[in-house]
Structure 1
Amino acid sequence: MPKVLIVSPNDSRIGPNKNTWTPLFIASAAAVLENTGCTVRVFDRLAHSHRGGQSLAGTHQAMLSLVSSFKPDLVLIEANPESIYDTCHCARDIKALHDAPLGIFGAHATALPALAFQKIPQIDLLIEGEAEIPLAQLVSGDWSSASGVWLRDGDEARPPSRRSSPIDMDLLPFPAFHLMDTGYYAMRGTDTIWCHYLSSLTLMTSRGCTGRCAYCLESRDYGPGLRFRSLELVLEDVERCLRDYNLDAIYLRDCNFLVDRRRCARFCEMLLERNLHRRLLWSAQVRADCVEGGLLGLMKKAGCTSLEFGVETPNQDHLRAMDKTIPVEAAQKALGLCREVGIYSHAYLMRGLPGETLADLHASEAWVRKYRPSNFFWVKLHVFPGTPLYEQYGDSFFEDNPWDDRQAVHDYYRRNLSSVSLADLEEWLQKRARPLMARQRRICQIKANPPLALAGLTVQRVRNRALSLARKIGGGSDERE
């Protein structure tokens, strides 16, 4: 069976000395390939540069050294919107060094498959949607009939002969965490389960989403339908994580863990029956309109420490314009219920919405002060290809511009669609939003962590400041491009 190298590009949104959610689709794809008998290696540019204190140039050279020594028969690079420039540079330099078949997969590839062959001339194939089944078919040798796989045909892109079906999640093996830098992803910190100083890894118990928000890629990447992994297998995955990696917590990255409330209740009962609630905490993403007080009590008893909600904005007109069907009253109720049972809440809010005014930002600020989520962020609205928002506001950016221009891609995602001037926005961020977020996060950290964890967090902050200073002095923050 072939040797396969999977490359995870660098994500510049993740600051130095911070970890993030485990890249599950890479770990899942690697596990499927190993089950077919392939020899698999994963090179994670983010983990390598952050954990090793490497410059981007040093990380790039380490990747190329692995290509030279491993000599893969197939190279796969994840292609996501905000790091697409890094995918392009990896494809260019890997192909120049080692002329094996090279393919891409991921959200950006799925959104713009035909265009990708023009913008990344080095690729030979592209996997659309979920990668696991197509990869298993690819390595069997019959490329032309592999489902969901686009192939290069001269200067053209040949669509797949058939689309891949949504995967049965019970067929997926345990993610290949042993090929990932779990020392980085499971590092104790407060950036995976917000405000909690914990060691954790990420799992998914379902794929698919019942929502179709105009700005969201996740509801489109997984294909139609909602699919669940059996709870017996989920609990096996949890127990294996605890056994192999000695974790404090698990982060459940389902689009909405409460979409089936009876299933969630049974999950909690199984944790209690196996006494797993005594060994780990857990957190999940949920839709506010699925929250019920009685169920929250059971979740708290079973070890749930926090829940994340996509609130976006308290302005109902803006929610409707983005096809967000959850009324703001549902978020208000959910936050109150979490507070009653002692589950921490994290609210994601957006800024930069089309037609947004300074009054809207002040109203959003007043909303978080009134309804008091445990922690919250205002995140920049990004216009991702493949979404209705891109059709309306993307201005054909990815059709008309090169994908390997790092600055151009960054500038695109920094665009402001609101009616607020950049000067007024920056003043609001500096004087009001960022101080409020920082203050609330400190309060949440103090409440969520015992004294020993707070001491560890303080030590980590001192060490991170020292590492950041060392990187600056040593030129570790340089750009390869």
Structure 2
Amino acid sequence: MKNILLISPQYRGFKPEFPLGLGYVAAALESVGYRPKIIDLNIDDLSYLTKCLKEDWLFIGISGFTFAFKQIDDLVKQIRKANNSPLVLGGIIVNSYPEFMANYFTEVDYFVNGEGEITAVELAKNLENDEALFGSILGLIYRQNGEIIFNASRPLIKNIDTIDFPARHLFDLSKYAKLSNPPFSRNASIIGSRGCFAKCTFCFRNFNGEYRTRSVNSVLDEIELLINHYNIEYIDFRDELFLATDSRIMAFCSGIKERQLHFIWGAAIRIDSVKNKETYRAMRACGCIYLTMGTETASEKILEVMNKGVSKKTIIQSLSLMKNSGISVSTSFIVGMPGETKETIKETEEAIKSIGFPAGQVYLPRAFPGSWLYDYSIKNGFITNEIEYLNKVSVGSIFDLIVNYTDMSNSELLFRQKQMNGEMFFGSKFIHGQINM
């Protein structure tokens, strides 16, 4: 049997995105002759899932984030009631907390811990040939005689240029138009790097500080394919570190000009990536219309708590560079981290008012497995029942106050968050910059 079903769970309270991870795994499986089918429950109707669960599959795979814990739990139960095919779980939900998830999801047969392309292919071959040589598959967690077996970790793929492009032909891309920000009828998501060299304390993406980039030519090859084959007009870079330095950005812009590619694009970017205004001019000239960045705070004390690796001075200098760039910029802030006080919030508010930070959102901290903040929350008694907590963060809004790490009352913290959001939206001096070309 060659048929494999891959499922992306529904996300509540978080904006759903094109499931690039499943696209990469599907491409790897296709490259060796398997026939994957993908269901995205943020897009596809539940009746389609019900129909697919009536069929037999070599395996059924789910990949998702921890903030969909309850949805994944419900999905596992639904699948197991309707279908006896081997069930596999992977993605951040496993990577960030493998032992916990393997013990909790008792109806899951296999867990993929780490990057999934190679592990999924090796697992498929074992299942197809009924070899049961699961102990040799790096990155696999499985059950044997009532015990959970944790195989050795799979090394990260060093040269990520060698990874096949996501299998976008398995998706109806027109359904994802409403998910792009800003919305475009013909849009696609792309990543130009994997991993991260930063170790922000609130981040749940566990890369052990390893950061790998695709070559600029590889990224441009994929963009050219998207334009020529899918008629894509807008490209959204989903990784924050593809545009990590001025030199890399300029090389990318030069490549766009050399290939005479015509598209518009947006990206996430670190606050300290760009060091000179000419880089922003080059980006705008090559189609960049939108940037988003996690500024988080302008308090030196909270920057240290977050381990952001930047100073308040750097933040102000970087945002000043963006003025008159012609690029729409959105920032995000987090208020309520451990150590946050009225004074640290005021420090950030004053910075917003003084420089005119770009419009964005002010969020409350949310701890997820894999982050320093999650470990801190358990150690200090903020999270006492992990299952209850993970269920709660799976169904609420991203603006809900789940844990208050400050000495302020819940009502005061929520008021200050709401007040800052008002300043972000109505007090911003440069939501859209202008540039003289």
Question: What TM-score does the superposition give when structure 2 sets the normalisation length?
Answer: 0.88
User: Which residue does the alignment assign to 2:333?
Assistant: 349
Give yes or no for contact 1:215–1:382 (8 Å, CA) kept in 2.
yes
Separation in structure 2 between the aligned mates of residue 42 and residue 177 of structure 1, nearest angstrom: 10
User: Which residue does the alignment assign to 1:416?
Assistant: 404
Give yes or no for contact 1:85–1:403 (8 Å, CA) kept in 2.
no
What does 1:146-295 align with in structure 2 at a 5 Å threshold? 146-187=137-178, 192-193=180-181, 199-218=186-205, 220=206, 222=207, 225-276=210-261, 279-293=262-276, 294-295=278-279
Given the alignment of the two structures, is residue 65 of structure 1 paired with residue 47 of structure 2, yes or no? no
What does 1:324-339 align with in structure 2 at a 5 Å threshold? 324-339=308-323
Query: Alpha-carbon deviation of 1:41?
Result: 0.9
Counterpart secondary structure, 1:325: coil
* Higher relative helix content: 1
Query: Alpha-carbon deviation of 1:416?
Result: 2.1
Alpha-carbon distance change, 398 to 79 in structure 1, aligned in 2, over 3 angstroms: farther
Which deviations, in whole Å up to 9, do the C-alpha atoms of 1:101-129 show, x marking residues without a partner?
A: 11111112112212222211111111112
Q: Read off the aligned partner of 1:321 and give its amino acid letter.
A: V
User: Which residue does the alignment assign to 2:82?
Assistant: 97
Alpha-carbon distance change, 340 to 317 in structure 1, aligned in 2, over 3 angstroms: same
Give yes or no for contact 1:104–1:126 (8 Å, CA) kept in 2.
yes
Q: 2:34 aligns with which of 35, 38, 60?
A: 38
Query: Alpha-carbon deviation of 1:166?
Result: 2.9
Alpha-carbon distance change, 379 to 271 in structure 1, aligned in 2, over 3 angstroms: same
Q: Read off the aligned partner of 1:134 and give its amino acid letter.
A: T
User: Which residue does the alignment assign to 1:378?
Assistant: 362
Alpha-carbon distance change, 26 to 391 in structure 1, aligned in 2, over 3 angstroms: same
Which deviations, in whole Å up to 9, do the C-alpha atoms of 1:210-242 show, x marking residues without a partner?
A: 111111123x2x455322222222112112222
Query: Alpha-carbon deviation of 1:405?
Result: 7.4
User: Which residue does the alignment assign to 1:76?
Assistant: 61
User: Which residue does the alignment assign to 1:387?
Assistant: 371
User: Which residue does the alignment assign to 1:297?
Assistant: 281
When the two chains are superposed, the root-mean-square deviation of aligned CA atoms in Å is 2.8
Q: Read off the aligned partner of 2:247 and give its amino acid letter.
A: R
User: Which residue does the alignment assign to 2:129?
Assistant: none
Percentage of matched positions with identical amino acids? 23
User: Which residue does the alignment assign to 1:451?
Assistant: none
User: Which residue does the alignment assign to 1:5?
Assistant: 5
Which deviations, in whole Å up to 9, do the C-alpha atoms of 1:291-343 show, x marking residues without a partner?
A: 12222222222122222222111011111112111112222111111113322
Separation in structure 2 between the aligned mates of residue 423 and residue 417 of structure 1, nearest angstrom: 13
Alpha-carbon distance change, 48 to 326 in structure 1, aligned in 2, over 3 angstroms: same
User: Which residue does the alignment assign to 1:474?
Assistant: none
Give yes or no for contact 1:47–1:181 (8 Å, CA) kept in 2.
no
Give yes or no for contact 1:357–1:419 (8 Å, CA) kept in 2.
yes
Query: Alpha-carbon deviation of 1:344?
Result: 2.3
User: Which residue does the alignment assign to 2:130?
Assistant: none
Counterpart secondary structure, 1:150: strand
Separation in structure 2 between the aligned mates of residue 408 and residue 284 of structure 1, nearest angstrom: 27
Alpha-carbon distance change, 361 to 375 in structure 1, aligned in 2, over 3 angstroms: same
Alpha-carbon distance change, 40 to 167 in structure 1, aligned in 2, over 3 angstroms: farther
Alpha-carbon distance change, 358 to 306 in structure 1, aligned in 2, over 3 angstroms: same
Give yes or no for contact 1:134–1:164 (8 Å, CA) kept in 2.
no
Query: Alpha-carbon deviation of 1:409?
Result: 4.9
Which deviations, in whole Å up to 9, do the C-alpha atoms of 1:399-419 show, x marking residues without a partner?
A: 944379744755797222222
Separation in structure 2 between the aligned mates of residue 264 and residue 384 of structure 1, nearest angstrom: 32
Alpha-carbon distance change, 413 to 154 in structure 1, aligned in 2, over 3 angstroms: farther
Alpha-carbon distance change, 346 to 139 in structure 1, aligned in 2, over 3 angstroms: same
Alpha-carbon distance change, 408 to 281 in structure 1, aligned in 2, over 3 angstroms: closer
Question: What TM-score does the superposition give when structure 1 sets the normalisation length?
Answer: 0.80
Separation in structure 2 between the aligned mates of residue 384 and residue 41 of structure 1, nearest angstrom: 30
User: Which residue does the alignment assign to 2:25?
Assistant: 29
Give yes or no for contact 1:88–1:404 (8 Å, CA) kept in 2.
no
Q: Read off the aligned partner of 1:32 and give its amino acid letter.
A: A
Separation in structure 1 between the aligned mates of residue 254 and residue 394 of structure 2, nearest angstrom: 46
Counterpart secondary structure, 2:53: helix
Separation in structure 2 between the aligned mates of residue 235 and residue 83 of structure 1, nearest angstrom: 33
Query: Alpha-carbon deviation of 1:443?
Result: 8.5
Separation in structure 1 between the aligned mates of residue 415 and residue 243 of structure 2, nearest angstrom: 38
Separation in structure 2 between the aligned mates of residue 405 and residue 38 of structure 1, nearest angstrom: 34
Which deviations, in whole Å up to 9, do the C-alpha atoms of 1:418-462 show, x marking residues without a partner?
A: 2221212333344x23434444799848x89xxxxxxxxxxxxxx
What does 1:400-415 align with in structure 2 at a 5 Å threshold? 400-402=385-387, 406-407=391-392, 409-410=394-395, 414-415=402-403
Query: Alpha-carbon deviation of 1:164?
Result: 3.3
What does 1:108-127 align with in structure 2 at a 5 Å threshold? 108-127=93-112
Which deviations, in whole Å up to 9, do the C-alpha atoms of 1:70-95 show, x marking residues without a partner?
A: 42110111132110111111111211
Query: Alpha-carbon deviation of 1:23?
Result: 1.9
Count the aligned residue pairs.
423
Q: Read off the aligned partner of 2:290 and give its amino acid letter.
A: S
Query: Alpha-carbon deviation of 1:363?
Result: 3.2
Alpha-carbon distance change, 352 to 202 in structure 1, aligned in 2, over 3 angstroms: same
Q: Read off the aligned partner of 1:65 and give its amino acid letter.
A: K
Q: 2:351 aligns with which of 367, 375, 387?
A: 367
Alpha-carbon distance change, 87 to 295 in structure 1, aligned in 2, over 3 angstroms: same
Counterpart secondary structure, 1:139: helix
Counterpart secondary structure, 1:123: coil
Give yes or no for contact 2:302–2:344 (8 Å, CA) kept in 1.
no
Alpha-carbon distance change, 128 to 397 in structure 1, aligned in 2, over 3 angstroms: farther
User: Which residue does the alignment assign to 1:319?
Assistant: 303
User: Which residue does the alignment assign to 1:470?
Assistant: none
Where does structure 2 lack aligned partners over 5 or more consecutive residues? 127-132
Counterpart secondary structure, 1:340: coil
